[in-house]
Structure 1
Amino acid sequence: MFTYKVGIKKDEHDSFVESSSLVCLLQSSTWGKVKNNWENELIGFYSNDKMVGTASVLIKKLPLNFSVIYIPRGPILDYSNRKLLKFVIDSLKEYGKRKNALFIKIDPLILRSSFKLGDEQVINQESENIISDIKKFGGIWHGLTKEMSATIQPRFQANVYTQADIESTFPKHTKRLMNDARKRGVYTERADITQIEEFSNVVALTETRKNISLRNKEYFKNLMEMYGNDAYLHLAKVNVPQKLKEYKKNLEEINKQLLETQDHQKKMLTKLEQQKNSTTKYIKELESLNIISDEDMVIAGILSIQFGDTMEMLYAGMDDLFKTFYPQYLLNPKVFSDAYDNGIRWSNIGGIQGNLDDGLTKFKSNFNPTIEETIGEFDIPVNKIFFSLSQLAYKLKKQKKLKFKKK
């Protein structure tokens, strides 16, 4: 005997989501508050008064009193239980009618495949059965899309599963760039809300460079206030004048040793010449920046949120003036390390294109991620008369948005 209830308590909802194998930040009750341009309600599903499913639904009001409903990375339930799945979809349709919804969009965190880059991609047969069942119960599947722009949430994402010595899993190329960053004086730390403006500034620089729109300082501040200790702000910093003094002092010492080294000490002379060339290179690089202020500068940052034993690395920014300092190669490992220390199982470093040959995939491959492919989006029609028209309008709006981004 299944029943459902609208307006359940946040703790009941969050507790169920956190204990599920489908746990995801986007289904946390707080995320509904973050998306303050949508209405939000929590729906619980029960079997003989025991919770067996839940959904945090986002409701967007449309003209003429219509609406659309979106359940990001949900609903949360045992999808192998076909009777429960049918009940949940039927209940959502009933709920959608009360909200005068045109359709309900869902994109559950059901994995179709999980693999390392370069390994064979093995399809999870159970996911194929779930796709078939959702379609049978009224869902219209968007298919195995490849482009990130084809869905609201990326169908392919890169997850780093944490462990004690995460750096040992990275390729040699990554370790070399981490070492280069350290030589340039880059260091990382977990910051607090008092440094949100510095983070916002480097995000703004990234927006300008990539011609994209992310979020502003108030949004980031609001996010950190809402999630409290579960919000992780990591910053990469450098003190250029201080590092410059250090290298100049090192160069003086190297030159002194060169003068004191005998001609027959060829190995020592070769080593010192290499150190001199390397140190001179760093000095020229630092001097070219023309940084006068003797203060630690924020040159990159990442804002992440923990929910349950998972982490979403949501926003990142970098000052392009310091791109050869490779701060992101120290920042990401710092996030993974802190995540591991706090019992976090995996960190999502973001979506990638399904063809796996784009620039994002290449960059993220530096951290040995596991690529996880979800089954994708489904639309559940509620108002069948206007559903087709709404889909056409949504498609045209998306095309217009993409066209604007390309300009």
Structure 2
Amino acid sequence: MYTYKVGISQEEHDHFIKNSSQTNLLQSSSWAKVKNEWGNERIGFYQDGQLVASASILIRSLPLGMTMFYIPRGPVMDYQNKDLVNFVLSSLKKIAKRKRALFIKFDPFILLNHHQIDKEAIDNPQAQDIINNLKNLGCEWLGQTTDMGENIQPRFQANIYADGFTEENLSKKIRQSIRTAKNKGVMIQFGDDDLLEDFAFLMKKTEDRKSIHLRGIDYYRKLLDSYPKQSFITLASLNLAERLAELEKQKEKAQNNLAKFGDNVKPSKIDNTKKEIERLSDEIAFLQEHLSQGNEIVPLSGTLSLEFGGTSENIYAGMDEEFRRYQAAIYTWFETARHAFDRGNIWQNMGGVENDLSGGLYHFKSKFKPEIEEFIGEFNLPVSPLYHLANIAYTIRKKRRSKH
């Protein structure tokens, strides 16, 4: 016999999610603290007194006292158990009616397929049956959407797994980029509130560079506060004065070598030394300019990660494009993953990538040889006769917001 309970404790809900095969950050109870502009309910579903499904629901207020339910990466349950799925959806619909919800939007933590970079996709043999069953139960499937902006959560994500993740397994080019960052004096720190201002500065730089609207320092602080001891910032920085001193030594050595060259020295060696002096002079001038502005230690790149149930998610990342030559972004993302695994996480979600696997996000994240995971996507479960009008309005509003 199935029953349900509205308002189960955070502890009971989180314990169930952590011990399921669908563990994910967005179904952790603390995610509702981050999204506190929404309402929240946690619903537990039981079979003979044992918890067998759970959902943390975000509730958005709409005009005229109406609402919509959104269950990110949930509900968490056995989607192959048709009786259970039927009970969960019918119960959610009853609860939604009491809350005057027009519809329930959800995107299960179920993969359609997954594959490693440059390898053939491995299909989930249960995915289509799950989709068909949800459709038979009255859910509208948004389908295999082709644009990232069509879904609330990315339908494609890049995931790195701890098993086998080492610097040696990366490509020669990426290993060289990491060595370049180290050789140029880039420093890596891990922290939280102590690195928050520098991280927010980098996010503002990213916002200006991409002409997009991101979040402010208060939101990043809320992320850290909502996941105490389960969050960290990775920050790459550079001591300009130390780097300048090292470059001046290198330049002096190159100039001395050039002065000592005799007639028997190959012209190519002379040209290479001159080019080295030019490169060193260029970077020296670059550093002197920034030091003259009162900068000494500058942040170059940063990420903010949240953890839940042995998983880690890179929620935000920013960089200062002006310091691109130091290869700090690649170094930062590599160290973020390594630190996540050192803390005991089994995988680290690098975030979404373009659905056609051809854009800038994909090309950057693919450098780390992640697994590309495609989710089955979003479903809408109509609750009110006004659903279709409400969904049209919601879709129009979402498209407008995605353009800004």
TM-score above 0.5, yes or no: yes
Post-superposition Cα deviations, 1:307-332, rounded to whole Å, max 9, x if no partner, equal 11111101111112112222111001
Q: Is 1:173–1:366's contact at 8 Å kept on the other side of the alignment?
A: no
- Structure 1 unaligned residues grouped into runs of 5+: none
**Do the aligned partners of residues 271 and 3 (structure 1) sit closer, same or farther apart at CA in structure 2, a change above 3 Å counting?**
farther
CA distance in 2, matches of 1:39, 1:47: 27
Residue 291 of structure 1 is matched in structure 2 by 290
Moved more, 234-243 or 171-180: 171-180
Superposition pairs of residues 1-400 of structure 1, within 5 angstroms: 1-163=1-163, 166-257=166-257, 274=272, 277-278=275-276, 280-289=278-287, 290-292=289-291, 293=294, 295-383=296-384, 385-400=385-400
CA distance in 2, matches of 1:163, 1:326: 25
CA distance in 2, matches of 1:167, 1:109: 29
**Do the aligned partners of residues 224 and 275 (structure 1) sit closer, same or farther apart at CA in structure 2, a change above 3 Å counting?**
farther
CA distance in 1, matches of 2:223, 2:181: 29
Partner-residue secondary structure (3-state), 1:229: coil
Instruction: Give the CA deviation at 1:194.
Output: 2.0
Post-superposition Cα deviations, 1:190-210, rounded to whole Å, max 9, x if no partner, equal 122022111111101111111
**Do the aligned partners of residues 294 and 214 (structure 1) sit closer, same or farther apart at CA in structure 2, a change above 3 Å counting?**
closer
CA distance in 2, matches of 1:261, 1:283: 20
Q: What amino acid sits opposite 1:102 in the alignment?
A: L
Partner-residue secondary structure (3-state), 1:228: coil
Q: Is 1:309–1:343's contact at 8 Å kept on the other side of the alignment?
A: yes
Partner-residue secondary structure (3-state), 2:392: helix
Partner-residue secondary structure (3-state), 1:333: helix
Q: What amino acid sits opposite 1:244 in the alignment?
A: L
Partner-residue secondary structure (3-state), 1:242: helix
Post-superposition Cα deviations, 1:6-29, rounded to whole Å, max 9, x if no partner, equal 000101101111111111111010
Q: Is 1:241–1:291's contact at 8 Å kept on the other side of the alignment?
A: no
Q: Is 2:237–2:300's contact at 8 Å kept on the other side of the alignment?
A: yes
CA distance in 2, matches of 1:150, 1:294: 42
Q: What is the aligned-residue identity percentage?
A: 40
Instruction: Give the CA deviation at 1:401.
Output: 2.1
Q: What amino acid sits opposite 2:145 in the alignment?
A: T
CA distance in 2, matches of 1:254, 1:272: 10
Partner-residue secondary structure (3-state), 1:37: coil
Provide TM-score, normalisation by structure 1.
Answer: 0.93
Partner-residue secondary structure (3-state), 1:154: coil
CA distance in 1, matches of 2:165, 2:47: 43
**Do the aligned partners of residues 246 and 276 (structure 1) sit closer, same or farther apart at CA in structure 2, a change above 3 Å counting?**
farther
